[in-house]
Amino acid sequence: MEPTYDVLVVGAGCAGMRAAIEAHDRGASVGVISKLHPTRSHSGAAEGGINAALGNTAEDSPEMHAFDTVKGSDYLGDQDAIEILAAEAPGDIYQLEHWGAVFSRNGEGRLDQRPFGAAGSPRTVYAADITGHVLIQVLYEQLQRRMTQGMKVYEEFFAFRLLVEDGRCTGVISWDLMNGGVTLIRGKSVILATGGVGRLYRATTNAYACTGDGMSMALREGLPLKDIEFMQFHPTTMYPSGILITEGCRGEGGYLINKDGERFMQRYAPNALELASRDVVSRSETTEIEAGRGVNGSVYLDLRHLGPEKILTKLPGSRELAMTYAGVDPIYAPIPVRPGAHYHMGGVETDNQGLTGIEGLYAAGEVACVSVHGANRLGGNSLMETITFGRRSGHAAAEYALGAPAVGNGGEAARADAETWIKSLLGNTQGERPWSIRDELGQTMLDNFGVFRRPEKMEQQVEVIAGLRERYDRGVVIEDKGDVFNTDLTQVIELGYLLDIASCMLQAGIARKESRGAHSRPYDFPERDDANFLRHSISHWKGDGPELTYGEVRMTKWEPMERTY
C-alpha cells in the first residue's frame, strides 16, 4: 500500500509550509511533496515585506488595509476574502514572530513597518530586504520541529498528476528526482501550493521552478482557473536579467527617473508618485521607454540621495543584487530597471477556506485565486496571503480529512498509466530540444501579452502558442535517459504546463475588452468597463483548449470608484 496521509501538501513555499504546520497542529497526519527542498522555494526570494495593519509606525486598521486592497485590485478582488485577509493578518504576523521570525524592529523594539505602494499607511512588516527568506527559514524551522513528531517531507519529488477518484482528490503522482521512478502518495485531502508561472515570460523575477505546475494539473482535472489573464508586471526588475529589486527601495524613498533625470511619475500619479500601485508604475515606465525617454529599454531607479547608511542597513540585499547582476553600486549610480513578469493574480479558483471545485482538493498561495488581488496585487499582500490562506486551507483540509472516509484502491492503475506516459516521453528520439520552444514562448509572451496589450498582437500570440503547442506535441527530445536527477525530463513536463496556462491567458485576455489593473488595452479599450467586465473570467479546459465563462465578484461594502493615485 502506498504511503497515506490525512493531508498531503504539494509545494513547500510559504503557503505550503504554513498549511502543513496548521494541518499537523490540528491533529492530522501530514505529508509534504516538493520538487525543491523547501528552503529553495521561491517565496524565499520575496524581498520587501508583508502587510498587516499592526499600526506600529502610524495609525492603521484592517478596514484601511482592506480598502487599499480593494482599490488596488481595481475592484475585481472578492471583498469578503479581502476582509478576512486584512482582519486575520495581524494575528498571523504575531504568530510568526512568536515562532522566531527575525523581523526588523523600530525604536521601541516593536516590529517596524515601512511604506509600500498604494498603501494608506506604513503597513509593511519586513526584515531588511530579505523578508521572504526570513519567513521561509522560520516556517522550515517549524516544519523540522514537526518532522520529529511524524510529519514527512518528500523533498525533490516532482508532482505531475493528481489522483481523482469518484470526484474526490485522494493523492498525487510524482517523479522521484533523486532515485527515479513514478510514485503515488495518498492523502485524504490534498493542498496545492505550487506557486506561480512567471517563467512564461522571458523577463521575469520568478525562479526557474515557477512553471505553473499546480495550475495546469488542476486545469487538466477539470478545475477552472480564475482571472488568469492578470499577470502583474513588477516595475523594478533589473535589466537584462529580470531579477527583482524590491518595492522597498521606493518605500524607503527611492526615485524613478528617465534619461533626463525627470521624476516622471509626477505626470502619471501626482500624489503617490513612485509609490503608486504597481500596474500604474509599470505602465508609466513603459510609456516613458516607448516615447524614447528610457536608456537601453529601461528607466532608472535612483537611490543615491538615500545615502550609504540607509542603503547599507535597510537595503543591503538590493545593493548586492545590483552590484552582482547590473554592475552598479546604487550608492553611486542608479539601477537600470524595467517592468518584468512577477506575480499571477489569477489561479485555481477557491473559496475562502481554500477549497476548490473538487472534493478534498484545496489550494493556497499564488497557485490559487481566492481572490484577494483581483486585477492588481499590492506589494506585501502576497506573502500575507500565503500565510493567512495557507493556514486557513491547512485548517479546512485537516478538518475534512479527519472526518473523511478512507481513500479508494484505484491508485495503482493511475500510477501505472502515468509511468507509461513518462516512459513514452523518455523514449522519444525524434524532434527538437525543449529550449527552443521555451525561449520562443517567453519572448513572444513578453512582446505580445505584456504590460500593454494590443489586439492584433494578442491574436498573433494565439497563433504562436498554437504553433508551439504543435511542435511540443510532435515530441521533444529528452537527452538524459537516466533515473537520477533527471531535470531534462522534468523541464519537458513543465514546458507543457506553460503552454496550457498561456492558452488560457490569451483567451481570457482577448475576451476582456476593457482596461483593468494589470490588463491594459490602451489602443482599443482604454477604460474600465464595470457594466460588462466587473466579473471574474473563468477558464476551463475542454478537449484541446480552454473555454471561457464568467463569475460574479463578491462585494461587501465598497462600490467601484475611479482609481487614481
Partner 1 sequence: MQVGLKIWRYDSKTGDRALREYEIDAPEEATLLDCLDIVKDKHDGSLAFRKSCRMMICGSCGMRMDGGAVLACKVRMYDIAQEGRVPVIAAMGNLPIVKDLVVDMDPFWEKMRAVDPYLKPRYDQAQERENVIPAPQMSVIHKESLCINCGCCVSECNSMEVDPDFLGPAALAKGMRFVGDPRDGATIERLEKYSEPHGLWDCTRCYFCSERCPKGVDPRDAIAKLGAEAMKNGIDRDMGAKHARWFVTSAKTTGWLRETELVPKTQGIVSSIREMKFAMGLAVKGKVPPPFPPHVAAEVHESRALFDLVKSQDRNGAAGIVQGEKALGRIESHHDASRGRDPYTEADSAPRPYLPSEREETEGVTP
List the catalytic residues.
278
Comparison of 325 and 421: residue with beta carbon closer to partner 1: 325
| Shortest CB 86 distance to partner 1, Å | 17
172-201 residues in contact with partner 1 (CB under 8 A) are: 178
User: Which of the residues 267 through 296 are near partner 1 (CB under 8 A)?
Assistant: 267
Decide: is 27 part of the binding site for partner 1 (CB under 8 A).
no
- Give dist(CA 111, CA 117) in Å, integer: 19
Q: Tell which one of 64, 87, 331, 404 touches partner 1 (CB under 8 A).
A: 331
Neighbours of 525 (CB within 10 A): 18
Is the separation of the CB atoms in 8 and 186 below 8 Å? Answer: yes
| The only residue of 73, 104, 277, 298 in contact with partner 1, by rule CB under 8 A | 104
Task: Write the single-letter amino acid at 213.
Answer: D
Residue from 264, 343, 362, 400 that binds partner 1 (CB under 8 A)? Answer: 264
Give the per-residue contact string, 346-385, with partner 1 (x = CB under 8 A; - = no).
----------------------------------------
Which residues within the stretch 110-129 sit at the binding site for partner 1 (CB under 8 A)?
110-111, 127
CB of residue 453 to partner 1, shortest distance in Å = 27
CA of 303: how far to CAs of 112, 237, 254, 306, 312, in Å? 21, 15, 5, 6, 11
Q: Exposed e or buried b for every residue in 78-91, given b needs 16+ CB within 10 A?
A: bbebbbbbbbbbbe
Rounded Cα distance, 273 and 166, in Å? 54
485 binds partner 1 (CB under 8 A): yes
Q: Examine residue 564 and tell whether it contacts partner 1 (CB under 8 A).
A: no
Which of 27, 261, 297, 526 lies at the binding interface for partner 1 (CB under 8 A)? 261
- Does 400 bind partner 1 (CB under 8 A)? Our answer is no
**H or E element in which residue 98 lies:** helix 79-99
Dihedral sign of CA atoms 493, 499, 502, 503 in order: negative
Residue of 16, 44, 72, 115 that binds partner 1 (CB under 8 A): 44
Least spacing, CB of residue 431 vs partner 1, in Å: 12
Q: How far apart are CA 110 and CA 98, in angstroms?
A: 13
Residue 106 as a binder of partner 1 (CB under 8 A): the answer is yes
Q: Does 145 bind partner 1 (CB under 8 A)?
A: yes
Q: For partner 1, give the closer residue by CB, 439 or 463.
A: 439
Residue 507, classified by CB atoms within 10 Å of its CB into exposed (0-12), middle (13-18) or buried (19+), is: buried
Distance CA 367, CA 346 (A): 8
Interatomic CA distance for residues 461 and 445, integer angstroms: 7
Q: Does 405 bind partner 1 (CB under 8 A)?
A: no
**Interacting positions 410-469 with partner 1 (CB under 8 A):** 433, 435
How far apart (Å, rounded) are the C-alpha atoms in residues 181 and 173? 10
Q: Which residue has the cell 512553471?
A: 211
Q: Are 50 and 377 in contact (CB under 8 A)?
A: no
Please state, in angstroms and rounded to a whole number, the distance separating the CA atoms of residues 283 and 250.
Answer: 16
Quick one: how far is CA 558 from the chain centroid?
A: 26
Candidates 63, 290, 320, 527; binder of partner 1 (CB under 8 A) is 320
Residues 519-558 that bind partner 1 (CB under 8 A): none
Residue 262 in the binding site for partner 1 (CB under 8 A): yes
In the complex, the smallest distance separating the C-beta of residue 488 from partner 1, rounded to whole angstroms, is: 4
Nearest-angstrom CA–CA distance, 352 and 380: 20
Applying CB under 8 A, does 386 fall inside the site for partner 1?
no
Residue 510 CB, shortest distance to partner 1, in Å, is 31
Least Å from the CB of residue 311 to partner 1: 9
Q: Which of 80-88, 137-145, 282-290, 342-350 is the region at the interface with partner 1 (rule: CB under 8 A)?
A: 137-145
489 Cβ contact partners less than 8 Å away, ≥ 6 residues apart: 175, 422, 425, 426, 478, 480
Chain positions 200 to 239 lying near partner 1, rule: CB under 8 A, are: 207-209
- Contact window for partner 1 (CB under 8 A) among 222-230, 252-260, 392-400, 412-420: 252-260
Report the residue from 1, 59, 108, 271 that binds partner 1 according to the rule CB under 8 A.
Answer: 108
With contacts defined by CB under 8 A, how many residues of the chain interact with partner 1?
Answer: 86
